[in-house]
Structure 1
Amino acid sequence: MEKGFKNIALFFAVTAAIVLIGFFPTYLSHFPYFEGFVALHHFHGFVMALWLVVLIVQPILINKRKYQWHRMIGKFSYVLVPIIVISMALVYQRSFVISVAENGTDHIKSLSMLFLPLTDILPFTVFYLLAIIYRKKVANHLRFMISTAIVVGSAGIVRICMVWLGMDFVGAMYANAVLMILVLVGLVLYDLYHKKLSENKSFVVALLVLGIPNLLLMYVPYTAWWQSFAEGIVKAMN
């Protein structure tokens, strides 16, 4: 493992802490009854927590030269990640249905919500697939795994912005988008400073894959063409 990322497990642990802080008031504090939550919420929370555990454990296994265990957990992710992606999509679907049926959200705002999966499900999936494609190129593999952690951590950031800082949902999403982009820009500059960028542009790819849809989030969801497209998706779902 690269010297600069030798303690990357700590970064993953901090990411997990951010998620826990973000979700404590809105989810964990409801233990043990969890009134208002359904099985999907618990399942989604479980598989996401499992992914954070995988991220933390894997570099530790590498540092301890437990390569066989590292490979076994890596193969386990082939099953875990598709389940994570499906659970994310189902949570979004439920949120959309509730926003329309129960919360009285206006139709335009509801349709704008359908853009949100492009800001996290899509980047997370792309980063994982790239990490697997480059699994034999450790430097690339590690950078794309770090990128998945940034996406997962963003869920905690959004909730911290809303619950702890008092932002509305839209403001929290914008703040989170800017923060994620800044983190990736910082990682690109880190590689540039250490003369790694010429041979490894994984963080540049991650910046584009995550940054573009999150920047478009500030404009596209309320455009006429997106509203028309989203309306077609809703009709197809029904």
Structure 2
Amino acid sequence: MLKIYRNTSIFIFLVIIGVQWGFYKNYTSEFPNFIGKTNIIHIHGALLMSWLVLLIVQPLLIKTGRTQLHRTIGKVSYVLGPLIIIFLFLIGKGSYWRAIGKVPEHDILRDMVLDSRGLISFAIFWALAMLYRKDAASHMRYMIATGILAIGPGVGRGLINSFGLGIGTALTVTDLIALAIVGFLLGYDIYKKKNYKPFLVVFIVFLIGAFLWQVRDSDTWQSFAKSYASMFY
């Protein structure tokens, strides 16, 4: 079990590397004179990096036997999680309004898949992690899922900036990577006869998100996104 906690920290560290790779060109490299970046974007980035650092520190605390400190620091997630959800919504809303008049409506509604699925997926995983906070195995799996969500925005941008991939291809690749990782973890739990339900839920959520990205140009999604924007944006 201790090896699992160590591997979790290593995995999230690799995710952070992927995030930094993706955001270096259009964000990190601009420090301290950021171009066209709002305070909401800065706060959003700081919150998510804090969350990823938390996902590294917490498993290490358990591995080293500092369970009480793990519980104490874990209380931060009750504040950090909702703040991330709020700013994910604000980021989506800001992206929508910045694109109005500059980008065709079809493209704006298409790209809303990314913001909306990220918001909903994180909210689901965070809520389940908190719900199962006394079930260490389930709690850990849902927390890992929140970290896997960062692969899309981070590695996706990296593929676009470094290899010239289109956004459609890049995000399809990162969706497949995320599904492969969760699928492997799900299969491992089944093989080891562990509780596979958490990663099954995570896999289904990622699968739905990947499906929505593939149908982003459909009339159904365009209609839904337009209604969503009129109601919440």
Q: Tell me, yes or no, whether TM beats 0.5.
A: yes
Q: In the TM superposition, what are the counterparts of 1:1-238 in structure 2 within 5 Å?
A: 1=1, 3-101=3-101, 104-196=102-194, 199-219=195-215, 221-237=216-232
Q: Which amino acid aligns with 1:159?
A: R
- Count of aligned pairs: 233
8 Å contact kept, 2:5–2:59: no
The alpha-carbon distance between structure 1 residues 237 and 201, as it changes in their structure 2 partners (threshold 3 A), is closer
How far off its partner does 1:237 sit?
A: 4.5
How far off its partner does 1:28 sit?
A: 0.4
How far off its partner does 1:115 sit?
A: 2.4
Q: TM-score, normalised by structure 2?
A: 0.93
Q: Which amino acid aligns with 2:110?
A: S
- Provide the rounded CA distance (Å) in 1 between the counterparts of 2:127 and 2:224: 27
- Provide the rounded CA distance (Å) in 2 between the counterparts of 1:109 and 1:218: 14
The alpha-carbon distance between structure 1 residues 2 and 139, as it changes in their structure 2 partners (threshold 3 A), is farther
8 Å contact kept, 2:110–2:217: yes
**Sequence identity, in percent?**
33
How far off its partner does 1:40 sit?
A: 1.3
- Provide the rounded CA distance (Å) in 2 between the counterparts of 1:237 and 1:143: 31
Q: Which amino acid aligns with 1:227?
A: Q
Which segments of 5 or more consecutive residues in structure 1 lack a partner in the other structure? none
- Provide the rounded CA distance (Å) in 2 between the counterparts of 1:23 and 1:45: 10
Structure 1 residue ranges, 4+ long, deviating more than 6 angstroms after superposition: none
The alpha-carbon distance between structure 1 residues 185 and 81, as it changes in their structure 2 partners (threshold 3 A), is same
The alpha-carbon distance between structure 1 residues 181 and 7, as it changes in their structure 2 partners (threshold 3 A), is closer
- Provide the rounded CA distance (Å) in 1 between the counterparts of 2:201 and 2:2: 19
The alpha-carbon distance between structure 1 residues 7 and 228, as it changes in their structure 2 partners (threshold 3 A), is closer
Name whichever of 12-21 and 184-193 sits farther off.
184-193
8 Å contact kept, 1:140–1:200: no
How far off its partner does 1:177 sit?
A: 1.2
SS at match of 2:33: coil
Name whichever of 158-167 and 2-11 sits farther off.
2-11
The alpha-carbon distance between structure 1 residues 105 and 200, as it changes in their structure 2 partners (threshold 3 A), is same
**What root-mean-square deviation, in Å, do the aligned CA atoms of Structure 1 and Structure 2 show?**
1.7
How far off its partner does 1:200 sit?
A: 3.1
